[in-house]
Structure 1
Amino acid sequence: MAYTFQVTIDSAEPHVLADWWADALGWEVESSDEAFIRRMIEDGRATEEDTTTHRGTLVWKAGTGIRHPEGLDRAPRVLFQYVSDAKTVKNRVHLDVRTGSDDPKAVVERLIAKGARHLHDASQGPYTWTTLADPQGNELCVSH
């Protein structure tokens, strides 16, 4: 049996980081269903402390996801979940961002301008890539 999966990224500010990654990938942040959240609070299934406001919208404090604009059949969902502890070591898993026909150097420059940090450039045979850290320190690689 084959399984599906989502990628989950721990974050001190999941909604802010989801916005950054959605912009970086050209993906979409999942919309928040404020009516559903309010109903869960009214029914006693959640509390006000389980929520926060992001960009003027009521959202779950625990996090949010982003999706490829063509849906889950195109690429797995990425979930950004709140954690209180800070990142302290290198990620054991990271995303490799393939730029397709876009110039990877231009993509790297754009991501750095939006808060990424350059870590190093590398190559192996004909392949080259740049390793960056997102605004919260999570590593990612950018290549063709």
Structure 2
Amino acid sequence: MTSRFTELVIDCLDPQRLADFWCEVLDFTVLDRSEDSVEIGSWEPTAEAVRAGQMPPTMFFVRVPEAKTGKNRLHLDVSPVDARTADEVTRLLKLGATRMDVGQGPDRSWVVMADPEGNEFDVVRSLAP
């Protein structure tokens, strides 16, 4: 018996805003939406596909009444696939991300950023040819 990692749930104040941001970052689409939640992903999950093998999880943004208060204990790493890391950082800043200092120091190969609600994520090595 086993389980599958099917969704990454992110508490937030504005699910639609964060879903829009992450759809642009990851080239995902909205899979489901309600007043208080939005699910996005790169594929339409079905029970059969999930049982057959591990697939990429969807992201599920859920409205909560309180704002983020501390550093994330879990964060995403994203790798640009068709641009240099510096170019991707510039694109993400235009989408509403900000640079973050979490004590990583100046000589790192990754860039720490935050989404529009302050959730940290890293832009790591480029996978561009």
Bin for the TM-score computed over the shorter chain:
0.7 to 0.9
2:114 corresponding residue in structure 1: 133
Q: Give the aligned residue type for 2:111.
A: T
- Superposed, which structure 2 residues align to 1:111-122 within 5 Å? 111-120=92-101
Q: Give the aligned residue type for 1:18.
A: A
Q: 1:4 to 1:74 in 2, by over 3 A?
A: closer
Structure 1 residue 75 corresponds to structure 2 residue 56: yes
- Superposed, which structure 2 residues align to 1:43-54 within 5 Å? none
- Superposed, which structure 2 residues align to 1:1-144 within 5 Å? 1-5=1-5, 6-31=7-32, 59-68=33-42, 70-72=43-45, 74-120=55-101, 123=108, 128-144=109-125
Largest Rg, 1 or 2: 1
Q: 1:81 to 1:122 in 2, by over 3 A?
A: farther
Gaps of 5+ in 2: 46-53
Q: Identity across aligned pairs (percent)?
A: 34
Deviations 1:54-75, CA, capped at 9 Å, x for gaps? xxxxx5122011101x455641
Q: How many residues are aligned here? A: 112
Q: 1:75 to 1:11 in 2, by over 3 A?
A: same
Deviations 1:12-36, CA, capped at 9 Å, x for gaps? 00011101100011111125xxxxx
Q: What is the TM-score when the length of structure 2 is the normalising length? A: 0.78
Q: Give the aligned residue type for 2:66.
A: D
Query: Higher strand proportion, which one?
Result: 1
Asked if 1 retains the 8 angstrom alpha-carbon contact of 2:31 and 2:44, the reply is no
**Displacement, 1:100?**
3.0
Asked if 1 retains the 8 angstrom alpha-carbon contact of 2:11 and 2:63, the reply is yes
Q: 1:82 to 1:99 in 2, by over 3 A?
A: same
Asked if 2 retains the 8 angstrom alpha-carbon contact of 1:122 and 1:130, the reply is no
Dislocated runs of 4+, deviation >6 Å: none
**CA distance in structure 2 between the partners assigned to 1:82 and 1:92 by the alignment:** 19
